[in-house]
């Protein structure tokens, strides 16, 4: 099965391009102290708002800080926010979805009505309201994004459990007297993780986009910590004289989100044989 999925994935050029983008982002974030040409917080009063040149490839900001260095370190922030937020949403979604799908009945109805209520609330405005209450900060952002983005995972896990709970291996485990928790976590969940894994990849892209939007509005990662969103905020303030402060972080967000989306869509097509046959 793994070889079949890999073969299909290799034939999908867009998915491979997305995978390369994701890997490159990991490498940049991991090697940030090595490849960064300057300290991202180093202020140069004599080089304020310098355009791209050989000394500063992507120019400098309003404090003379190197934009390339800040963008390299900003990749770390984006990955951290994306993976921690998605991790939180996965934990919550798997718990609620597995309980709803396995037990059914009243538990299913209560959980799914709660999911419907959460889905009816505009997520970004809910995040804005919570951040305004608890205050901005990277950890607050990760927790809030995770707590407001688990509903899709819960629905996926519930759907998988509904199809698995009457399968032979589950009935055999029940006849052996295994606990419900063990049946759900050890037998059912590993067989229903494929769509959840794809949703997690797409969720990283969504979390990065939300963090960038919050930082752009001044409610996200706070200076002097480098973030693509707060670099964009400086670009908005100096758009007429420092175009590079808007173009380069905007392109970084665009390429990163596109890479995760291409990889996620490609994995979905490779894993689901029905989608592959329809191509």
What pLDDT, in 10s, does the model give residues 66-100? Answer: 999 999 999 999 899 999 999 999 999 999 999 99
Question: Which residues, in sequence order, are bridge partners of residue 60?
Answer: 66
Q: Residues 205-216: what's their mean pLDDT?
A: 90
Whether pLDDT at 155 is above 70: yes
Ranges 90-94, 213-217, 232-236, most confident: 90-94
Supply 34's token pair.
């090595």
Token reading at 246 = 């808007």
Domains defined along the chain, listed by start? 2-277 (1.10.3720.10)
Residue with more model confidence, 5 or 125: 125
Q: Helix, strand or coil for residue 263?
A: helix
d(CA 169, CA 192): 13
pLDDT at position 35 over 70:
yes
Cis bond upstream, residue 65 (ω within 30): no
pLDDT at 277 over 70: no
Place of tokens 């405005």: 125
Query: What band does 254 get if pLDDT is binned at 50, 70 and 90?
Result: very high
Q: Find the range with the poorest average confidence among 87-91, 129-133, 228-232.
A: 129-133
Query: What are the tokens at 134?
Result: 């608890």
Strand partners, 66: 60
Answer whether 234's CB lies under 8 Å from 220's CB.
no
Over its C-alpha atoms, the chain yields an Rg (Å, rounded) of 22
Contact, 135 vs 141, CB < 8 A? no
Please name which of 165, 202, 196 lies closest in space to residue 95, comparing C-alpha atoms: 196
Asked if pLDDT for residue 31 goes beyond 90, the answer is yes
User: What is the token pair recorded at 155?
Assistant: 């629905």
Confidence of residue 111 (pLDDT cuts 50, 70, 90): very high
Burial of 239 (0-12, 13-18, 19+ CB in 10 A): exposed
Q: Does 271 score more than 80 pLDDT?
A: no
**Res 113: pLDDT:** 94
The arithmetic mean of pLDDT across residues 21-44, rounded, is 92
Residue 229 in contact with residue 77, Cβ under 8 Å? Answer: no
- State both tokens at 78: 């984006």
At residue 272 the predicted structure's pLDDT band, cuts being 50, 70 and 90, is low
| Cα distance between residue 132 and residue 55, in whole Å | 39
Looking at residue 274, what is its pLDDT? Answer: 53
Q: In the structure, what pLDDT confidence band is assigned to residue 221 with cuts at 50, 70 and 90?
A: confident
d(CA 160, CA 188): 9
| Three-state DSSP class for residue 66 | strand
Please check whether residue 275 is in contact with residue 7, taking contact to mean a CB–CB distance below 8 angstroms: no
Q: How many CB atoms lie within 10 A of CB 240?
A: 6
> pLDDT: is 46 or 204 the higher one?
204
Cα–Cα distance for residue pair 159/162, rounded to 1 Å:
5
Q: Do residues 71 and 21 lie in contact, with contact meaning Cβ atoms separated by under 8 Å? A: no
> How large is the average pLDDT for residues 18-34?
93
3-class SS at 60?
strand
Q: What is the pLDDT of the chain when averaged over all its residues?
A: 87
Q: Check whether 9 has a pLDDT greater than 80.
A: no
């Amino acid at each position: 099965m793994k070889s079949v999925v890999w073969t299909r994935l290799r034939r999908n050029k867009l998915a491979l391009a997305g995978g390369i983008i994701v890997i490159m982002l990991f490498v940049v974030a991991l090697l940030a102290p090595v490849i960064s040409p300057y300290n991202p917080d180093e202020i140069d009063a004599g080089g304020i708002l310098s355009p791209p040149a050989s000394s500063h490839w992507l120019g400098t900001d309003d404090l003379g800080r190197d934009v390339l260095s800040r963008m390299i370190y900003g990749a770390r922030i984006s990955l951290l926010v994306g993976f921690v937020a998605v991790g939180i949403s996965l934990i919550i979604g798997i718990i609620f979805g597995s309980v709803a799908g396995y037990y059914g009945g009243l538990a299913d109805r209560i959980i799914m009505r709660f999911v419907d209520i959460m889905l009816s609330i505009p997520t970004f405005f809910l995040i804005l309201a919570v951040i305004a209450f608890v205050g901005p900060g990277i950890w607050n952002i990760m927790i809030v994004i995770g707590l407001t983005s688990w509903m899709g995972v819960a629905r996926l896990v519930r759907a998988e459990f509904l199809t698995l709970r009457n399968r032979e291996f589950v009935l055999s485990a029940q006849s052996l007297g295994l606990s419900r928790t063990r049946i759900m976590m050890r037998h059912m969940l590993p067989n229903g993780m494929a769509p959840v894994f794809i949703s997690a990849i797409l969720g990283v892209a969504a979390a990065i986009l939300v963090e960038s939007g919050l930082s752009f509005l001044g409610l996200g990662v706070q200076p002097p910590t480098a973030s693509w969103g707060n670099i964009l905020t400086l670009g908005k303030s100096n758009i007429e004289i420092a175009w590079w402060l808007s173009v380069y972080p905007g392109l970084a967000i665009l390429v990163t989100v596109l890479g995760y989306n291409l990889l996620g869509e490609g994995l979905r097509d490779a894993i689901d044989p029905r989608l592959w046959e329809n191509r």
